[in-house]
Structure 1
């Protein structure tokens, strides 16, 4: 008689990544199915060390995103839910509203299109003439603007920390996944860099900048590659020049919103970001170069196709990266009073942008499934805003996979 030993699982759901999406997923799982054991593996010594904690802290309204898309639905819903979550747990936040300002006549049709898109997404929008801009931002100049009342700001690191605590999940820090063994009959085992093996029934990949690599470790081909784009910020030395949030009219061909002005929870004003290719997944400066990562990115055909399609845009972003004067010129379009000395270099962020083989930038959230695995493969901004709805969707899939396992 052959005796088959029972597998000892450390948890039911094993989440890779302790950013806001991974922690929101853990929170949603334990809310929907109390008693489900969740373990979060985070390679850093604390939560929210990358995209979640390195942004301008904006609660996005959802005005930019295609009606019916996940970004539109989840951002609109998520903004309201996130504001309520912050109020419930005493997390610093404020619903400030924001201005989107056209500074050139060529931008006026795009501004009007945003008005229509906002209304389709159920977002209250007020159109402003040039003289009315001063009601909200006396130092800002433009031909026309729209005011979006539901935009706000918050402390996303505090939100992530609270999600982790409220979930009741076990969070293991310093636990970088280096190998994943997935078998239909035995679940998923993750080997960490320090030699621990963690076993779960189902794996959820919320690894952000490394989400495509984690997918491949499980044996699933994601059909996209994460291309890191660094966003460089300055701090405004004269924060009194800006009352709230001021954005340019974005180019619809890109997922980036352009250099904007954001008064944060701490009262300081962030200026930026631009968007330049990073030479490492965590390439927070030009001096951070990881040849293996840079070569792997360059080996993806979509990178070269993307470059051929958008090189003019890229040249402008690079120029603003290496020339503070060029960055100041971009800011002056909105805020003429700003001087070069008013901008003080601040911490940069890196956007984990999924790129398809044909060079297209994935413009919506992307969640894919494999056997006993759910992969969140594209969740840049506004993912923090939309984290609660994204977490529920990923949790729904994870619990379904758990039932089937």
Structure 2
């Protein structure tokens, strides 16, 4: 098969921030490499990228030495620089992580240590100092993390697409993959187009495990979708910046937090509940085949057994606005139920192993002529520049 038979050297499946960052990184590391991106939606960043809190994470939460820790710390600084260079709305706001109960104090202190191990400057605050930063927030103690910020990640993804020089095809859902180790990869889209390339990168997010199986690889995990439900604060003046609870280390979600966005509005959430479809942005969206796939995966039952108490609390907060309001009032007592206005939800693509382990770090695996990104939840947007470079390094090595 000669070069002319290829539509590109690298084919990226998925036009979210990680797929587009990969296209950008490949074009920077190896100018002249032809990259084609296939995205099933009519535009970029329509799922996880465009439906999150928009936070530039400092890296304080992640296990020292993990990819998440290394990439978030480096990625946060690079993201601020990238946004400044291209005029993308962003701001370094800092944030508070607040302990409201005595039993959270040891966990808060452990976060201080973790932050220092990850090279992040952290300031410890008592109750009076909390109010210097956030007059309406109440807590026993808090930490202030100065490097946290906010950005418009959809605009970042669009800019990656522009400056990568990649050929991007929207409305192109991959339904079949034919991989021949000696000849490259050919994919067929739902519209019947065939696209051929030397190497394929799977950045399909909520569908990455399905794409891996289409390529003939066993990903060893399943995506179990969790919906993150948000409210908008009707009185945004109650919060100046970003306010987070102390997270539960057993669960990879950060709890209900308040985030002032770049538009000046304040997002409250997310609540994390099982979604009944890969793109189940409301309880009304149920896809029986996808739900059966989740329920048929042994790991889903392990999670249910292990975390049923936590999960039950999240579901109660999902169906009861009063319960959600109580969760917010632990941090900001002035918030009332009528201050919370429903906002669009997001769905997190959480990789779960067969034994029920929630994959905590980024997970990238390789097969012949393919690189699969199998777990890239938060802080993937923050870390998208270093993640893109890591994927590009692997892709170019296999070329």
Aligning the two structures, in what range does the TM-score lie when normalised by the shorter sequence? Answer: over 0.9
Which of 102, 107, 125 is the matching residue for 1:105? 102
Note the 1:1-400 alignment, pairs <5 A.
8-400=5-397
Deviation at 1:296, TM superposition (A): 0.7
Task: Please state whether the residue corresponding to 2:5 is helix, strand or coil.
Answer: coil
Stretches of structure 2 that go unaligned for 5 or more consecutive residues are none
Task: Please state whether the residue corresponding to 2:51 is helix, strand or coil.
Answer: coil
Q: CA RMSD in A?
A: 0.8
Q: Distance in 2 between matches of 1:230 and 1:46?
A: 21
Stretches of structure 1 that go unaligned for 5 or more consecutive residues are none
The 8 Å contact of residues 7 and 186 in structure 1, kept in 2 or not, is answered as: no
Q: 1:135 to 1:195 in 2, by over 3 A?
A: same
Q: 1:46 to 1:5 in 2, by over 3 A?
A: closer
Q: Distance in 1 between matches of 2:59 and 2:173?
A: 33
Q: Distance in 1 between matches of 2:81 and 2:72?
A: 14
* TM-score normalized by the length of structure 2: 0.99
Deviation at 1:306, TM superposition (A): 1.0
Q: Which deviations, in whole Å up to 9, do the C-alpha atoms of 1:276-303 show, x marking residues without a partner?
A: 0000000000000000000011111100
Deviation at 1:322, TM superposition (A): 0.4
Task: Please state whether the residue corresponding to 2:10 is helix, strand or coil.
Answer: strand
Q: Distance in 2 between matches of 1:133 and 1:146?
A: 9
Q: Distance in 1 between matches of 2:181 and 2:347?
A: 35
Deviation at 1:58, TM superposition (A): 0.2
Task: Please state whether the residue corresponding to 2:207 is helix, strand or coil.
Answer: helix
Q: Which deviations, in whole Å up to 9, do the C-alpha atoms of 1:13-51 show, x marking residues without a partner?
A: 000000000000000000000000000000000000000
Q: Distance in 2 between matches of 1:360 and 1:9?
A: 39
Q: Distance in 2 between matches of 1:134 and 1:302?
A: 43
Q: Distance in 1 between matches of 2:2 and 2:91?
A: 54
Q: How many residues align?
A: 399
The 8 Å contact of residues 94 and 153 in structure 1, kept in 2 or not, is answered as: yes
Deviation at 1:5, TM superposition (A): 7.0
Q: Distance in 2 between matches of 1:194 and 1:342?
A: 45
Q: Distance in 2 between matches of 1:33 and 1:185?
A: 22
Q: Which deviations, in whole Å up to 9, do the C-alpha atoms of 1:52-100 show, x marking residues without a partner?
A: 0000100000000000000000000000000000000000000000000
Deviation at 1:184, TM superposition (A): 1.2
Task: Please state whether the residue corresponding to 2:128 is helix, strand or coil.
Answer: coil
Deviation at 1:332, TM superposition (A): 0.2
Q: Distance in 2 between matches of 1:108 and 1:173?
A: 48
Q: Distance in 2 between matches of 1:16 and 1:130?
A: 49
Q: Which deviations, in whole Å up to 9, do the C-alpha atoms of 1:287-342 show, x marking residues without a partner?
A: 00000000011111100011101101100000000000000000000000001000
Q: 1:258 to 1:5 in 2, by over 3 A?
A: closer
Deviation at 1:186, TM superposition (A): 1.6
Task: Please state whether the residue corresponding to 1:361 is helix, strand or coil.
Answer: coil
Q: Distance in 2 between matches of 1:306 and 1:236?
A: 32
Task: Please state whether the residue corresponding to 1:355 is helix, strand or coil.
Answer: strand
Task: Give the ranges of 4+ consecutive aligned residues of structure 1 lying more than 4 Å apart after TM superposition.
Answer: 4-7
Deviation at 1:185, TM superposition (A): 1.9
